[in-house]
């Protein structure tokens, strides 16, 4: 039996095509995206002969509008890729700059800490050296003063330098002055005047200003004698000059 064909079959209008189909210019075929179009154009698929079940299909073609759309899509994709690459490069550069800055700051901080530690260590070493030197001087001074009875000159020189700042030139005058007065004997006594001790204090009790043991302790006598010279003449050399100008000698 033959298949029935409606009488009005040929009169029905073909279904209207959508905007995309119109843009692509393809009728009665699936819509093709811009990416697919580029792929087809790049591979030469368009216009190629079909085989097998599709041998009788119509040749696949793209309209100029579709080609333009595909080209625009490819251009936009390329621009997006360039923008992404540029943004990544910028982000990497910024990250590298931040890391470099952080490393520089960390290095500067470490260097500053090392410099501070070095300065502190040097200051501590210097303070320790100064303390050791002072301790040695104090020990020497104590030894000199302790031996004042056997060596009153060294004790007087030490006290003149440490307590009055009198150096070698003033020491020379002091040595001559007290050599002339008492020959540096802490028990020396003038039989006529009663002046007593290394500095020949008159009366002897004046030396009690620096200690009640002024008759037996040469340090007490020396301290009083240095104080008296500084108060009366300003320096040992002034006292020595005055002593020389008087006869009988006294100061």
The tens-digit pLDDT sequence of the chain (251 residues) is 455 555 545 554 555 555 544 544 444 444 444 455 445 444 444 444 445 445 455 566 668 888 888 887 888 888 889 899 889 998 999 999 999 999 999 999 999 999 999 999 999 999 999 999 999 988 988 899 889 999 999 999 999 999 999 999 999 999 999 999 999 999 999 999 999 999 999 999 999 999 999 999 999 999 999 999 999 999 999 999 999 999 999 99
> What is the number of other CB atoms lying within 10 angstroms of the CB of residue 191?
6
Burial 221-248 (b: 16+ CB within 10 A, else e): bbbbbbbbbbeebebbbbbbeebeeeee
Domain 152-245 indexed as CATH 1.10.530.10: yes
Using one digit for the tens of pLDDT, what is the confidence trace for 44-74?
Answer: 444 444 454 454 555 666 688 888 888 878 8
**Lookup: tokens for 103:** 């490393």
| pTM over the 0.95 mark | no
- What are the domain boundaries of the chain? 88-146, 152-245
| CA–CA distance, 196 with 204 (Å, rounded to integer) | 5
Half-sphere exposure of 191 (CA within 13 A, CB side): 0
Q: Distance of CA 238 to CAs 121, 153, 177, 231, 243, Å?
A: 47, 19, 10, 11, 9
Written as six digits, the tokens of 175 are: 């040595």
Could you identify the residue written with the tokens 């037996």? 216
């Amino acid at each position: 039996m033959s298949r029935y064909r409606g009488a009005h079959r040929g009169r029905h209008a073909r279904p209207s095509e959508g905007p995309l189909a119109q843009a692509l210019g393809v009728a009665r075929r699936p819509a093709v995206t811009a990416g697919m179009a580029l792929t087809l154009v790049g591979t030469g698929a368009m216009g190629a002969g079909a085989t097998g079940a599709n041998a009788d299909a119509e040749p696949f073609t793209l309209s100029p509008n579709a080609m333009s759309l595909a080209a625009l899509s490819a251009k936009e994709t390329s621009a997006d890729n360039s923008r992404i690459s540029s943004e990544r490069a910028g982000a990497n550069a910024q990250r590298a700059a931040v890391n470099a800055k952080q490393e520089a700051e960390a290095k500067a901080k470490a260097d500053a800490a090392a410099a501070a530690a070095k300065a502190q260590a040097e200051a501590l070493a210097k303070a320790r050296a100064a303390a050791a030197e002072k301790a040695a001087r104090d020990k020497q001074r104590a030894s000199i003063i302790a031996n004042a009875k056997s060596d009153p000159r060294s004790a007087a020189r030490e006290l003149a330098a440490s307590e009055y700042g009198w150096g070698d030139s003033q020491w020379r005058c002091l040595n001559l002055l007290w050599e002339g007065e008492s020959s540096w004997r802490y028990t020396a006594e003038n039989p006529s005047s009663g002046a007593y001790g290394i500095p020949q204090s008159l009366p002897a009790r004046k030396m009690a200003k620096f200690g009640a043991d002024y008759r037996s302790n040469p340090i007490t006598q020396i301290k009083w004698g240095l104080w008296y010279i500084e108060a009366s003449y300003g320096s040992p050399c002034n006292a020595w000059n005055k002593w020389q100008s008087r006869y009988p000698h006294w100061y």
